[in-house]
């Protein structure tokens, strides 16, 4: 579906050159955002994209400057009942437990192995970092890519019983494709681990590894038995969240984006950095309001906490997507 | 010249579709690397590019995996009599001296202001870091971009009396364009400062800011009077040299390159990481052998020290460019 949509739009943009091949009415009738209801957010997106990509428009932006940044958790895919990467870490603890008999009596590992979510919560951020380091470091970059690829292919979400890569938001897939068809370069800028996302973002979102920005641990290069290796160390390198997001954007992209898409307070500074500047700018927040088809949460949620950024949206005129009212369909497929 | 060459090759690759528009003999006769003599390096480059980009070839590499990485100093532009960025730092000390009366009697600043290269050398790496921090930090990212852009437009090389951006290697410009015309994505991976390069690499090399990897200092995001700012701090963030280059490549690109181009021991690990793996791989070292048209240096040079990597080239069958014999022309223009 996603690839087909993209193809349609690539064809659409070259219709001038290929008019003799494509019946033009097919183009005129195609809707780049079919899963979006005809409410305000869709209109705002289309208006923005058309004005920056139309040569001669006073708001025209040259193609290389059309940089769009997307948060991942809660903006492109589900983040409840917990971040997918946390589910990965918990599964990895279970998978590696046989090699670590000491985990049976050591927190926070014991809590994970016993499914004791209360004890796990009590371990706090320190416990979480321990879990991440124990499951994300101590192997080469290549080995970690294989572990992630295998897990993401086999893991299932507890509520929808589907692979996590099918619990991505269809309207956002259409938005990514629509932006790219109009000369935008799309980047992911996530608080999640950069190497946790890269193995599957190209296939699922059309975003290649070099356009993924995220949190990272340190790596070390060494020659081992004549073969070069990059080894993952149990040490934080960069946290790509909150005030870290503009820093990560500058480090990786080196240009100021003109459009930013997020869903939580972790995206506030990215939205500020993107939109509070001269020229045409676009900011959007996905507001989870659909408990029936997905989830409903904001100011009181632990995962995807949306409070300051919701207030800032009103002040800065960022577009707010009300999932329940603005999206015809949540996930790909029927 | 550069843009024209690129256009020719883009046309070349789409000649099937546009055959009725372009006389085919023009394509057959065009040489993608006209500044290269018909010696071994040129043949090796063309053979590699053709085999990885030809569908059905046993060595075919899908386009997204065609990643090529280039060192900058000494590989794409001159690095003698000193790194261009060092010349920038020295000029900045002079420009900012009026605001720092204490520099007149404080090393290493005094050495710079008095042109005392012996005292400057005595200040060693510690002195160099002090110079870099004093001239590269303490302003916003945007302000630094303006400073670099102004300097690069006005500074002149002491020997050739030309802007540094004209002292880039014409054969390497052709190589960058040739690779891109064959589906490669070209990245710069330099020990130099990432923000020192980004303001001009797109115009000069056709490499956009998001495809530049380099050394960096830390930056901090803050809202100042309602405006978002990224402030440059006097603290090293990452050194993209030697064993740091594969780390920088993984962090920024997230894929292992299949071709690497360098000229010094600083590029050794990047060449190892790129070439010592399965599948078709290409490594190349630019050897500065032309004292008349440019410079001749290797094992004993301070800037662009080439010793271990020269030995490794023979062992690993990396291509060595002998500038004097393999390049018809060094710089763009006549």
Contact (CB, 8 A) for B136 and B126: no
* pLDDT > 70 fraction of chain B, expressed in percent and rounded: 91
Kindly report, residue by residue over B21-61, the tens digit of the pLDDT: 444 444 445 899 999 999 999 999 999 999 999 999 999 99
Give B-chain residues touching A198 at CB under 8 angstroms.
254
* Domain edges within chain A: 1-30, 35-81+168-326, 84-154
Q: What stretches of chain B adopt beta strand conformation (E)?
A: 67-70, 185-193, 212-224, 227-238, 259-262, 282-289, 296-297, 319-322
pLDDT per position as a tens digit, B200-237: 999 999 999 999 999 999 999 999 999 999 999 999 99
CB < 8 Å to B209, chain A: 253-255
Tokens 């057959």 -> residue: B28
The answer to whether the CB atoms of B210 and A212 lie below 8 A apart is no
Cβ pair B174, B36 in contact under 8 A: yes
10 Å Cβ neighbour count for A324? 16
Residues of chain B positioned with their CB less than 8 A from the CB of A243: 220-222
pLDDT confidence band for B11 (50 / 70 / 90):
very low
Residues of A in contact with B255 (CB under 8 A): 209-210
- What percentage of chain B has pLDDT greater than the value 90? 88
Give contacts of B253 with chain A, Cβ < 8 Å. Answer: 209-210
Do you find a cis peptide bond into B81, omega within 30 degrees of 0? yes
Nearest CA in chain A to B185: A210
More confident residue, A329 or B1: A329
pLDDT category, A208, cuts 50, 70, 90? very high
Residue B253 to residue A210, Cβ atoms within 8 A: yes
For A308, residues 6+ apart whose C-beta sits below 8 A from its C-beta are A265, A268
pLDDT tier at A2, thresholds 50, 70, 90: very low
Per-residue pLDDT at B21: 40
Q: What is the pLDDT of residue A125?
A: 85
For B315, nearest residue in chain A (alpha carbons): A226
Write down the pLDDT at residue B117: 87
CB contact under 8 A, B220 and A208: no
pLDDT at B5: 36
- Measured CA to CA in angstroms, residue A258 lies from A52, A267, B72 at distances of 10, 15, 29
- Tell which of B221, B232, B240, B249 to mutate to test the A interface (max A CBs under 10 Å): B221
| Residue B119: strand, helix, or coil | helix
How close B59 gets to chain A, by Cα (Å)? 21
| pLDDT at residue A147 greater than cutoff 60 | yes
Taking the C-alpha atoms of residue A218 and residue A227, their distance in angstroms, rounded to an integer, is 20
Percent of chain A with pLDDT over 90: 88
Q: Which pLDDT score, from 0 to 100, does residue B332 have?
A: 98
Tokens 């090796």 correspond to B44
Nearest to B228 among A212, A221, A276 (CB): A276
Averaged pLDDT for residues A274-295: 98
Q: Output the CATH code of domain A35-81+168-326.
A: 3.40.50.1000
Shortest distance, CA B256 to any CA of chain A (angstroms)? 10
Our CA-based measurement puts residue B198 at a distance from the nearest CA of chain A, in whole angstroms, of 7
Report the share of chain A in percent with pLDDT over 70. 91
Interface test with B, best of A141, A193, A222, A228 (most B CBs within 10 A): A228
User: Nearest CA to CA, how far is A50 from chain B (Å)?
Assistant: 24
Closest A-chain CA to B210: A253
B254 and A198 within 8 Å at the Cβ level: the answer is: yes
CB nearest to A221's CB, from B212, B227, B243: B243
Q: What is the pLDDT of residues B139-185, one digit of tens each?
A: 999 999 999 999 999 999 999 999 999 999 999 999 999 999 999 99
Does A209 contact B254 at a Cβ distance shorter than 8 Å?
Answer: yes
pLDDT digits (tens, 9 = 90+) for A149-189: 999 999 999 999 999 999 999 999 999 999 999 999 999 99
Test B247 with A216 for CB contact under 8 angstroms.
no
Chain A / chain B CB contacts < 8 angstroms: 94
Q: In terms of pLDDT, which residue wins out, B128 or B293?
A: B293
Q: How confident is the model at residue A121 (pLDDT cuts 50, 70, 90)?
A: confident
pLDDT over 90 at B7, yes or no: no
Residue-wise over B171-192: b if at least 16 C-beta within 10 A, else e?
bbbbbbbbbbbbbbbbbbbbbb
Q: Which CATH class is domain B33-81+168-326?
A: alpha beta
Q: Which of A196, A250, A274 to mutate to test the interface with B (most CBs of B within 10 A)?
A: A250
The alpha carbon of residue A164 is apart from the nearest alpha carbon of chain B, in Å, by 22
pLDDT score at B6: 38
The whole-angstrom distance between B288's CA and the closest CA on chain A is 27
Residue A148, min C-alpha distance to chain B (Å): 14
CB contact under 8 A, B221 and A243: yes
Are residues A108 and A134 in contact, defined by beta-carbon separation less than 8 angstroms?
no
| Nearest to A254, CA basis, from B214, B152, B164 | B214
| Statement: residue A42 has pLDDT above 50 | yes
Q: What ipTM did this prediction achieve? A: 0.90
Return the C-alpha torsion angle B3, B8, B9, B14, nearest 10.
Answer: 130
């Amino acid at each position: 579906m996603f690839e087909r949509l993209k193809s349609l739009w690539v064809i659409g943009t070259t219709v001038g050159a290929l008019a003799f091949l494509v019946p033009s009415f097919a183009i005129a009738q195609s809707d780049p955002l079919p899963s979006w209801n005809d409410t305000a957010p869709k209109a705002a997106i289309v208006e923005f994209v058309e004005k920056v990509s139309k040569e001669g428009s006073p708001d025209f932006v040259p193609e290389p400057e059309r940089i769009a940044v997307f948060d991942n958790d809660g903006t492109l895919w589900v983040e409840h009942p917990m971040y997918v990467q946390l589910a990965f870490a918990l599964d990895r603890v279970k998978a590696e437990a046989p090699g670590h008999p000491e985990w049976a009596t050591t927190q926070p590992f014991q809590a994970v192995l016993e499914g004791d979510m209360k004890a796990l919560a009590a371990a706090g951020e320190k416990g979480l970092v321990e879990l991440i380091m124990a499951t994300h470091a101590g192997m080469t970059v290549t080995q970690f890519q294989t572990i992630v690829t295998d897990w993401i292919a086999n893991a299932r979400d507890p509520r929808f019983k589907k692979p996590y890569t099918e619990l991505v938001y269809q309207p956002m897939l259409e938005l990514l494709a629509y932006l790219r068809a109009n000369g935008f370069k799309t980047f992911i800028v996530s608080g999640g681990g950069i190497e946790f996302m890269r193995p599957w973002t190209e296939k699922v979102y059309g975003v290649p590894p070099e356009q993924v920005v995220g949190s990272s641990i340190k790596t070390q290069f060494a020659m081992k038995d004549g073969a070069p290796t990059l080894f993952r160390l149990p040490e934080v390198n960069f946290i790509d969240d909150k005030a870290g997001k503009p820093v990560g954007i500058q480090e990786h992209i080196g240009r100021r984006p003109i459009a930013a898409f997020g869903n939580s307070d972790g995206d506030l500074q990215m939205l500020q950095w993107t939109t509070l500047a001269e020229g045409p700018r676009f900011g959007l927040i996905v507001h989870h309001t659909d408990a029936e088809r997905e989830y409903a949460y904001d100011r009181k949620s632990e995962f995807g906490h949306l409070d300051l950024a919701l207030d800032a949206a009103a002040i800065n005129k960022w577009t707010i997507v009300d999932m329940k009212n603005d999206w015809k369909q949540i996930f790909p497929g029927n």
